[in-house]
Structure 1
Amino acid sequence: MDAELFPRGRDAVAPGAVHVPDWLDADEQRALLAACRAWARPPAGLRTVRTPGGGTMTARQVCLGHHWYPYGYAPTVVDGDGSPVKPFPARLDELARRAVADALGPDALPGEPYDIALINFYDTDARMGMHRDADERSDAPVVSLSLGDTCVFRFGNTGTRNRPWTDVDLRSGDLFVFGGPARLAYHGVPRVRPGTAPSGLGLAGRLNITLRVSGLASSAG
């Protein structure tokens, strides 16, 4: 990253929500991008998500561990090709736990392993409306990693999709973690800034890797 007049520092956007710039170095970004490209291939690959009202999300998605669809989880791609969801790699649990410890401290680490990845691909025109990550049965912190083009990430409040909110520029390699009192805050992506990805990464558009704890194992039975 080129030197900046005002270097970016970590920022507590809200209680329980922390932005850590440049958390992934260039090699880690390239390795994660290569893995995402493999995961995005069929079967159970990158798909367009259709909403219950008949619309479609402009960001396309692939899931690992558990398949998310509005508004629940399944072991197969029930709204796509029907294939079993790809497994969640143990290295992503390790990455998520390191992220939580770095952003929120070791006391915020969940007792259960991370077991869900939602990987969203945003092209130039893709957006994500304000929503909450509320389909899990765990209140473990959500870990969000960004690759490629910078986006405007809008982080709101737990009561409404409307203001107050804070807009944060998330660049390639940035980490955003939200848990505790911010775990069910509304958030979205109103804009992607095309052509802002690092030149050496080889990605046009933005990838967001969101890591979560499902809580499904502990709630079974």
Structure 2
Amino acid sequence: MTLDLFADQPIEITTEPLAEGACVLRQFASAHAQNLLNGIRHITTTAPLRHMKTPGGHSMSVAMSCCGTWGWVTDAQGYRYQAQDPCTAEPWPAMPSDFSELASSAARAAGYTDFAPDSCLINCYEPGAKMGLHQDKNEKDLSQPIVSVSLGLPQVFQFGGLSRNERPSNIPLGHGDVVVWGGASRLSYHGVLPLKAGTHPLTGVCRYNLTFRCTR
């Protein structure tokens, strides 16, 4: 599968409700994609992508890095946010203004007016990589939403309820789509199915996901 870009076609941004407090903003980040990808490449020269290990010792299929004041890490000590990259012992790279402005704008479009993220997780999916159903609950301020930006190859996002036993909905996400969830849906279980092989003009054989959070 090879995807083509049609730069001469206007971008139509639409809002697709998922649940109370949650929606997909279709194509919201498309016009900013190249700047976001340039930012990812700059950040990962200082804080390289890596496959972190879960507390149980399993290597994650997704390669990850972070930027902002706080970065999310997982290792034998558990899941947490910390100010230093464990691979370099240096502070995480600063969050580019393009990143934070896009995230705040997407949050406003979804009805969250005061979102100012202090952490951005950078996830790189290659064919077969996935993310199991989980809750984002390591953040201290759960009144703030999560903003998740998709770049590159399409992948199926799973969005469920507040119990792991609730069957999730499968939502196809494409290049430039942004998912925002908060309020009654803030602790909803979510994940992504394995990435299918393909080629995208801007990202090659992979998909990037930027997940913005307020941790404090």
**Cα distance, 1:89 vs structure 2:** 2.7
Instruction: Find the counterpart in structure 2 of residue 83 from structure 1.
Output: 90
- Listed as ranges, the gaps of 5+ residues in structure 2 are 7-11
**TM-score calculated relative to the size of structure 2:** 0.86
Pairs within 5 Å for 1:60-79: 60-65=63-68, 66-70=70-74, 71-78=79-86
Instruction: Find the counterpart in structure 2 of residue 151 from structure 1.
Output: 155
1:21 equivalent in alignment to 2:47: no
Cα deviation, 1:37-76, whole Å, max 9, x if unaligned, reads: 111113x221111111010110011111212113111111
Counterparts of 2:196 and 2:81, CA distance in 1: 31
Which of 33, 57, 61 is residue 58 of structure 1 equivalent to?
A: 61
RMSD, aligned α-carbons: 1.9
Counterparts of 1:202 and 1:59, CA distance in 2: 15
SS at match of 2:193: strand
Instruction: Find the counterpart in structure 1 of residue 125 from structure 2.
Output: 122
**TM-score calculated relative to the size of structure 1:** 0.84
Instruction: Find the counterpart in structure 2 of residue 189 from structure 1.
Output: 192
Q: Bigger shift: 202-211 or 149-158?
A: 202-211
| Runs of 4+ more than 3 Å apart | none
**Cα distance, 1:12 vs structure 2:** 0.7
Counterparts of 1:180 and 1:69, CA distance in 2: 25
Counterparts of 1:74 and 1:8, CA distance in 2: 35
**Cα distance, 1:87 vs structure 2:** 1.5
- Listed as ranges, the gaps of 5+ residues in structure 1 are 216-221
- Give the direction of change, closer, same or farther, for the CA distance of 1:202–1:33 in structure 2 (3 Å limit): same
Instruction: Find the counterpart in structure 2 of residue 99 from structure 1.
Output: 106
Counterparts of 2:193 and 2:116, CA distance in 1: 31
**Cα distance, 1:147 vs structure 2:** 0.5
1:12 equivalent in alignment to 2:17: yes
Counterparts of 2:13 and 2:27, CA distance in 1: 9
Counterparts of 2:66 and 2:107, CA distance in 1: 21
May I ask how many residue pairs the two structures share in their alignment? 201
